[in-house]
Amino acid sequence: MGETPSSETAAGHGSARRLCVSSGGFPNQPRVKRILELSGYDVSIGPPGDDDAVAVWGNSPATHRDEGLANRHDASVIRVEDAFLRSLHPAPAGEPPLGLTLDTGGVHYDPSVPSDLEAILSGHPLDDTALLDEARGGIARLNEARLGKYSATLTDVPAPAPGYVLVIDQPRDDASVTACGADRNRFLEMLFIAREEHPAAPILIKSHPETVQGFRDGYFEPQDASENVRFLTDRISNQSLFEGAIGVYTVSSQAGFEAIFSGHRPRVFGQPFYAGWGLTDDEFPVQRRQRRLTRAQLFAGAVLIYPKWYSPFTDSLCSGSEAIEIMAAQARAWREDHLGWVASEIPMSKRAHLQQAFGACAPVLFEDDPGRARATGRPWMVWSGKATLGHRDAARVTDGFLRSSGPGAEQVPALSLVVDQTGDYNDPGTPGRLEQLIAARADLRPDQEKRAQALIRTIRQEGLTKHTTTGRTPELPEGHLILVPGQVREDVSLQAAGGFVADDIALLERARAARPDAIVIYQPHSDVSAGLLHGGIPEGLADVVLPDTEVSDLLEKVDEVWAMTSLTGFEALIHGMPVTTTGAPFYAGWGLTTDTGDVPPRRRATPSLTGLVHAALIDYPRYTDPVTGLPCPVETAIMRLSEASGLPRSRLNRLLAKLQGLFAIRANRGR
CA angle 356, 360, 366 (to 5 degrees): 60
**CB atoms closer than 10 angstroms to residue 515:** 17
Higher pLDDT, 650 or 570: 570
Mean predicted confidence (pLDDT) in 383-399: 92
Please tell me whether residues 205 and 170 are part of one structural domain: yes
- Residue 409 located in a structural domain: no
Q: What is the crossing angle of helices 129-145 and 446-462, to 10°?
A: 100
Please report the pLDDT score of residue 219 as a whole number.
98
The last residue of one of the domains, among 60, 88, 123, is 123
* Strand-pair partners of 521: 483, 544
Please report the pLDDT score of residue 497 as a whole number.
80
Q: Is the pLDDT of residue 135 over 70?
A: yes
Please tell me whether residues 93 and 159 are part of one structural domain: no
Stated as kind and residue range, the H or E segment containing 71 is helix 63-72
Please report the pLDDT score of residue 24 as a whole number.
59
Q: Is the pLDDT of residue 530 over 70?
A: no
CATH number, position 603: 3.40.50
Q: CA-to-CA distance for 273 and 262, rounded, in angstroms?
A: 18
**CB atoms closer than 10 angstroms to residue 604:** 11
pLDDT per position as a tens digit, 58-111: 777 667 788 888 888 899 999 999 999 999 999 999 999 999 999 999 999 999
Please report the pLDDT score of residue 25 as a whole number.
66
99 with 32: CB under 8 angstroms?
Answer: no
Please tell me whether residues 467 and 378 are part of one structural domain: no
Based on C-alpha coordinates, what's the Rg of the chain?
A: 28
Q: Is the pLDDT of residue 370 over 70?
A: yes
Q: How far is CA 317 from the centre of its chain?
A: 17
Q: CA-to-CA distance for 171 and 194, rounded, in angstroms?
A: 20
Please tell me whether residues 99 and 147 are part of one structural domain: no
Q: Strand 416-420 relative to strand 622-624: parallel, antiparallel, unpaired?
A: antiparallel
Backbone CA torsion sign across 274, 276, 279, 284: positive
- Percentage of the chain lying above the pLDDT 70 cut: 88
As a whole number of Å, the end-to-end CA separation of the chain is 56
Q: Lowest mean pLDDT: which of 195-199, 238-242, 370-374, 661-665?
A: 661-665
Q: CA-to-CA distance for 60 and 58, rounded, in angstroms?
A: 6
Please report the pLDDT score of residue 67 as a whole number.
84
242 with 256: CB under 8 angstroms?
Answer: no
Q: Is the pLDDT of residue 11 over 70?
A: no
Please report the pLDDT score of residue 470 as a whole number.
56
Backbone CA torsion sign across 238, 241, 245, 250: negative
Q: Lowest mean pLDDT: which of 159-173, 351-365, 391-405?
A: 391-405
For 234-273, give the secondary structure using H, E and C.
Answer: CCECHHHHHHHEEEEEECCCHHHHHHHCCCCCCEECCCCC
Domain extent for 231: 134-311
Q: Is the pLDDT of residue 668 over 60?
A: no
Please tell me whether residues 574 and 602 are part of one structural domain: yes
- Residue 59 located in a structural domain: yes
363 with 343: CB under 8 angstroms?
Answer: no
Higher pLDDT, 312 or 500: 312
CA distances from 216 to 58, 171, 204, 251, 391 (A): 18, 6, 20, 17, 44
CA distances from 342 to 316, 374, 382, 393, 428 (A): 36, 8, 9, 13, 26
Please report the pLDDT score of residue 524 as a whole number.
87
Helix (H, G, I), strand (E, B) or coil at 53: strand
- Residue 458 located in a structural domain: yes
Please tell me whether residues 585 and 507 are part of one structural domain: yes
- Percentage of the chain lying above the pLDDT 90 cut: 73
Higher pLDDT, 8 or 395: 395
pLDDT confidence bin for 495, thresholds 50/70/90: confident
Q: Which amino acid is at 357?
A: A
For residues 519-533, one letter each, b for 16 or more C-beta atoms within 10 angstroms of the residue's C-beta and e for the rest, the string is bbbbbbbbbbbbebb
- Residue 237 located in a structural domain: yes
pLDDT per position as a tens digit, 304-347: 999 999 999 999 999 999 999 999 999 999 999 999 999 999 99
Please tell me whether residues 145 and 80 are part of one structural domain: no
Q: Is the pLDDT of residue 176 over 70?
A: yes
pLDDT per position as a tens digit, 455-465: 999 999 988 87
Q: Is the pLDDT of residue 410 over 50?
A: no
4 with 104: CB under 8 angstroms?
Answer: yes
pLDDT confidence bin for 469, thresholds 50/70/90: low
Please tell me whether residues 41 and 159 are part of one structural domain: no
Phi-psi label, residue 199: left if phi above 0, alpha if psi -120 to 50, beta otherwise: alpha
CA distances from 265 to 193, 249, 261, 294 (A): 16, 9, 9, 12
- Residue 431 located in a structural domain: no
- Residue 596 located in a structural domain: yes
Please report the pLDDT score of residue 533 as a whole number.
38
Please report the pLDDT score of residue 68 as a whole number.
83
Average pLDDT, the chain: 89
- Residue 162 located in a structural domain: yes
Please report the pLDDT score of residue 70 as a whole number.
86
Q: Is the pLDDT of residue 667 over 60?
A: no
Please report the pLDDT score of residue 651 as a whole number.
42
Please tell me whether residues 290 and 222 are part of one structural domain: yes
pLDDT per position as a tens digit, 589-645: 999 999 999 999 999 999 999 999 999 999 999 999 999 999 999 999 999 988 863
How many domains is the chain built from? 4
Helix (H, G, I), strand (E, B) or coil at 552: helix
Please report the pLDDT score of residue 647 as a whole number.
45
Please tell me whether residues 106 and 252 are part of one structural domain: no
Mean predicted confidence (pLDDT) in 4-16: 47
What is the side-by-side strand order in the sheet with 99-103?
41-45, 17-21, 53-57, 76-82, 99-103, 308-311, 316-318
Please tell me whether residues 354 and 472 are part of one structural domain: no
pLDDT confidence bin for 26, thresholds 50/70/90: confident
Please tell me whether residues 518 and 584 are part of one structural domain: yes
- Residue 128 located in a structural domain: no
